[in-house]
Amino acid sequence: MIVTGASRGIGAAIARRAALAGHTVVVNYSVDRSGAREVVQSITDDGGSAVAVQADVSDPAAVREMFDAAARLGRLTAVVNNAGITGNLIGNLTEVPAETVRRVMDVNVTGLIYVCQEAVRRMRADGNGSGGSIVNISSTATKAGSPGTWAHYAASKGAVDVLTAGLAAEVAPLGIRVNCVAPGSTNTGLHAAAGMPDRVERLNPTIPMGRGAEPDEVAAAVMWLMSAEAGYITGAVLPVSGGR
């Protein structure tokens, strides 16, 4: 299994759960090498198998190299598109610099497309593969659009939802299922990196369950969508949001 953006937060939780389920995991990272190594170490300490592979998903050549590294570990059966950024800026859309908009779209949308393309080429049952599962990570920010904070980020995640639906229908005959998990407010470093370390706590009163999600709760949803129990599900967007 390949998990992109797996050096921390939700991606790290997914990688750990996948290893516990018996997968050999490619822990992808872009810049956080030490974080990726820590995730790999925690997996191996628990008896699992994992390797850290650096690749910026917005670079198609790097994506191909990452898949080549995965191929050397065995048959690829699953890919999780978790890599995503906000640009670490908050404010109205008119305040977001053009270079930030480009970078967010390059990683969150274009990069996800590159990974999906390569995953289908490697896993398609009419080729050398035998099918598999792709799970994309979106966000419930697509519901309201994150006005005044991350409208550009919410727009990128809206594209993820649409791509999930289109690709799922396209590759179902190839034995590949494509689904999406949309986390709500989650206790990760994403908010602190953007200068809002208390954002999850401030949003708690707006969440019917009264709290933000833990990364492992999101990871559990990802693993279920990849499991045989979800074998007849494709094109779905599963919110993990406490009812918000």
pLDDT at position 59 over 70: yes
pLDDT of res. 77: 96
CATH number assigned to the domain with residue range 2-240, chosen from the 4 options 1.10.10.10, 3.20.20.70, 3.40.50.720, 3.40.50.410: 3.40.50.720
Which residues are part of the catalytic machinery?
153
Give the pTM.
0.94
Tokens of 32: 């956080």
Q: Where are the domains of the chain?
A: 2-240
- What are the distances in angstroms from CA 211 to CA 22, 169, 194, 208, 216? 31, 35, 20, 8, 14
**Looking at the predicted structure, is the pLDDT value of residue 211 above 70?**
yes
Residue 61 has pLDDT above 90, yes or no: yes
Summarize pLDDT for 151-206 with one digit per residue, the tens. Answer: 999 999 999 999 999 999 999 999 999 999 999 988 887 766 666 677 778 888 88
List Cα–Cα distances, 96 to 3, 20, 110, 142, 174, in angstroms. Answer: 29, 40, 19, 18, 40
**Taking Cα atoms as reference points, which of 6, 18, 23, 17 lies closest to residue 57?**
6
Tens-digit pLDDT profile for residues 4-42 = 999 999 999 999 999 999 999 999 999 999 999 999 999
Query: What pLDDT, on a 0 to 100 scale, did the predictor assign at position 169?
Result: 98
Instruction: Return the pLDDT at 36.
Output: 98
Do 62 and 113 touch, CB atoms closer than 8 A? no
Give me the pLDDT at residue 201, please: 82
